[in-house]
Chains A and B, each alone.
Chain A
Amino acid sequence: MIPSFKKFNSRFNFAFIDENTKREIRRKLLKAICLPGYQVPYSSPEMPIARGWGTGGLHVTLSVIGKDDVFKIIDQGSDASVNACNLRDFVHRVTHCRVTFDTHAATLIQTRHRIPEEQLNDGQILVFQVPQPEPLRAVERYETKTREMHGEADYARMWVSLYEAFVRYGDIMQGAGYPVMVNGRYIMSPSPIPRWDVPNLHQSDCLYLFGAGREKRLYAIPPHTDVVPLEFDDVKFRIEQFPGIRCSLSGTGGAFMDELYNDLGHFRHVINDSDFLDKLVEHKTRPQQWSNKYLQQVLDEMNANPDLES
């Protein structure tokens, strides 16, 4: 049985952070939700882990978590990485909330660099740990300037850098953290998620919250907001392609893949999202995935060649 959390038999407040600071963070989150994609400065208080190691995500999680929440945390798609385990233990220790690996059962999910493959619903919040919140940083070093550029929607240099990337590499080569236009107003960095996940930010049912602890910024995408990856008329945004590739554990495709190498240098593909993979392998069911046109194309191609094995 999980012991319930009592105010006076603990050395710290519920969810570790004191109530006034939590209130400050929630106020900033409300502002962020009101201005989708806009970076709101916040206090970023000291935590028992170093800034830049998920503190921003943790601030958000601990400020919004309630006693009835069911908490899940993933690190690059995995519930079981050292980082995920430690942060899950920590959140559990300071809140006594239920924790889970099951994406569908969770009400609050903290993530590092992935959106779960399973579609999130209107009862769920996804909290991103963000290392660098400023999408314009690569083209402008100074914070005062980038804030002015956002204020005036002056995104010329951002666009030129995409043009330059296309000229040099033949593609808008933004590996992870592909910049998006939120609600037709602010260019936003979705944190280093793969391009595979980017379309799922658009018109979702769930609430997305972003916390950058080291940079002291919060931002948000409320449910049902337009989120459009930057693209040209003739050079379009594309997600990662895994042509004809199947997961070596589940035998299926249509999900973001890891390449795993063994000592002999051979590699195989495995679905990156550990909970999604578990459900495929152990429960023999394919959870409801996001519906976006990019994924739909992948699934259609997969279903057209059902026997293909990697």
Chain B
Amino acid sequence: MDTIKSQQVTFKVFRFNEETDYLPYYNTYVLDVTHEEVVLDILNRIKWDHDGSLSYRRSCRHGICGVCAIKANGKGILACKTRLFDLIETFGSEITLEPLSVKRAIKDLIIDKKDFWDKHAAVQPYLVSDIEEHPASEHLVSPHDAEKLLEADYCIQCGACHYSCPALEINEQYFGPAAFAAAYRFSADVRDEASVERLHTVNEEAQGVWDCVKCMECAEVCPKEVNPIEKITKLHNMVFEAGIAKNNVATRHAVGFAHSIAKHGLLDEGELVRYSEGNIGVLKHVPVAIKMFTKGKIVLPWNMPKADKLDEIQKLIKSSSTVKF
């Protein structure tokens, strides 16, 4: 094995003991790492060779149990699956290892994941189905129906997306990407009978899908390629299809695009805000609107530009629309 490459890396490791420390601190270790080592190897080396008190979670070492998720330079990773050389390629040779959520740290890289599990549980992450106690045959799912899950069942509940989601960071009621991926996984299952109930849960203001800021962090970070934002979009669609969309600012904002495009081909920005907020709600936007108007940033209704070949767009909207509000 004369081809083993190695490189010196400076690791800054987050340390904190809820019971004894007032503030967290960082320990620095300079180690030679080889190209086949993953982050978990480094944590083990630090624990075994330097400081036995370093705490972190590990179990399967195969990217399956999800417990080893931490952050490296702010990026959510599975420690057991992430090669050091890949991290070096992105971040260079100074790597900071922190818990997924610094404010939830209990001991070093271990966090209290209660909020994650509570939200997960709230979407009924299991099949709800009335089945006979002694069924005569299996309840088969065709390959075609299994595809509808869009691999949402690959989620290992590691929490990397949950603790990378800015919407959740600010609004603690928000369920977050992993809970929504789970809600989709079971609601999209042909055997499930609680779909509408679940959709009501994810349709609530503040906790539900409408508070997503569409930053795509969850799609980027997921180590299992679950693509939670794709499932969030699906949940939006299912809410409309099930006919349970409430008439509120969030739903009107989505529907307003269709109205605007049908009329102009383009988005009428002012009208979208008015339609979404309603005639009273829109008033809170007036101060900013006035400033924008003085800077030539507001197009008055009679000057609204239109797309060429608007008739084509209108024809397609007629023939391709799949839902009603």
- A and B from one complex: no
